[in-house]
Structure 1
Amino acid sequence: MGPSPDGVDLRGSEIGGEFTLTSDEGKDVSWSDFDGQYRLVYFGFAYCPDICPTDVGRFSQGLSSFEQENPELGAKVQPIFVTIDPERDTPEVVGEFIDNFHPRLIGLTGTPEQIAKVAEDFGVVAIKGEETAEGGYLMEHSTFTYLFGPQGEPLGIVPTDKGPEGVAAELERWVR
């Protein structure tokens, strides 16, 4: 078990940790709620014009392919989207965003303080860009798709840049 030549091994790293955030359905969700499941985690924002929907689409399609080939193993993987823009990404906005992707994808948001803490714990960099005259802005952020094991331990970075096929192949190497 381990990463492909395209993946990154995170075993033994100190990223991750317990949190409680708000789901797209308005419910409290904690990291420990996923104990026993692999977790495919992406940090992004719903108003992202390109990178976030591309990456989330690729890992969603890759997970779907993996599920078709390995239904029992695929069921062990929980996809999770965490916003890095809690000022705009309410549960409703996050829900609208994730509805475009994998049917089991869970979207999480929280207060700016909660999101800042989770981003720090997970090694995610997120910086709010300059506001336009109309009040819009973009978020600059790291764009890794993390894979965590059944006890919440970091395993690796999934290569979404290799498309859905690369994601499915990476899940094939890790999920048991």
Structure 2
Amino acid sequence: MEKKIAIVAVVVAALFLAGTFIATKMKSTNAALAACGAGAIAGGAVGGPFELVNSNGETVTNEDVITEPSLVYFGYTFCPDICPTDAMRNAVATDLLDEQGTEVTPIFISIDPERDTPEAVGYFANNFHERMIGLTGSIEQTTAASKAYKTYFAKEANGDPDYYLVDHSTYTYLNIPGMGVVDYFSHTDDPETVAERTACIVDAVGAN
């Protein structure tokens, strides 16, 4: 009986120490993110698993494409202004980070699968940066990915069947493998801001 009690005590102590370690590590990580000006906290409700289709027509998951710090954006290739501007901003930020020795992957996820074929979204992404990954999928797949990242999109009602617009949110999310979304950038943030905050966060959490 005493032996069983001793074993239970050891297990409880181990769980307590593990919990304390995790809590301390999370507190330290959150402090580091806050010091960099991050707007999202690691382990938060934004971001999550997804299954989409790449430019080669292959089904891929978030684990397949987010293998290093990544700038994730939801848009569509027929977007007349906002999406090209944000995609170019993310591409420039990626180059600025390269110059500093910090490598990230820019990712463009389509929320218009009716028109954005794998080839189309791949061509669109590659025009902005050679490392930018273009992803699309079925309406179910793209909707699920959008919901995971808490983004919004809505197809124009009664629009031209070929030239309709899609209203959508315009945030770019910094996702780090093993941590998830740790920061986000608005449409008004310039490339220098994106690069500076991203480099600070990547360095602070040791994701280089």
TM-score, normalised to structure 2, is 0.76
Counterpart among 121, 145, 161 of residue 188 in structure 2: 161
Partner of 1:64: 95
Equivalent positions of 1:73-152 (< 5 A) are 73-74=102-103, 77-133=104-160, 135-152=162-179
Deviations 1:75-104 (A, max 9, x none): xx2211100000000011102211221211
Change (3 A) 1:17 1:133: closer
Partner of 1:175: 202
Partner of 2:60: 29
Q: Which has the larger radius of gyration?
A: 2
User: Please, which runs of 5 or more residues in structure 2 have no aligned partner?
Assistant: 1-31, 204-208
**Counterpart-to-counterpart distance in 2, 1:35 and 1:109:** 15
What secondary structure, in the 3-state scheme, does the structure 1 residue paired with 2:57 have? coil
Whether the aligned pair in 2 keeps the contact of 1:35 and 1:152 (CA below 8 Å) is no
What secondary structure, in the 3-state scheme, does the structure 2 residue paired with 1:166 have? helix
Whether the aligned pair in 2 keeps the contact of 1:24 and 1:94 (CA below 8 Å) is yes
Change (3 A) 1:19 1:134: closer
Whether the aligned pair in 1 keeps the contact of 2:175 and 2:183 (CA below 8 Å) is yes
Deviations 1:49-77 (A, max 9, x none): 0000100100110111111121xx31xx2
What secondary structure, in the 3-state scheme, does the structure 1 residue paired with 2:188 have? helix
Partner of 1:46: 77
Q: Percent identity?
A: 37
What is the aligned-residue RMSD (CA, Å)? 1.8
Higher helix share: 2
Q: Segments of 4+ in structure 1 off by > 6 A?
A: none
The Cα shift of 1:2 comes to 1.9
The Cα shift of 1:11 comes to 2.6
Deviations 1:8-40 (A, max 9, x none): 223332122222211012122211124651121
Equivalent positions of 1:1-20 (< 5 A) are 1-2=32-33, 4-5=36-37, 7-20=38-51
Q: Say which structure, 1 or 2, has more relative contact order (CA 8 Å, 6+ apart).
A: 1
Higher strand share: 1
**Counterpart-to-counterpart distance in 2, 1:36 and 1:21:** 15
Whether the aligned pair in 2 keeps the contact of 1:39 and 1:152 (CA below 8 Å) is no
**Counterpart-to-counterpart distance in 1, 2:90 and 2:153:** 20
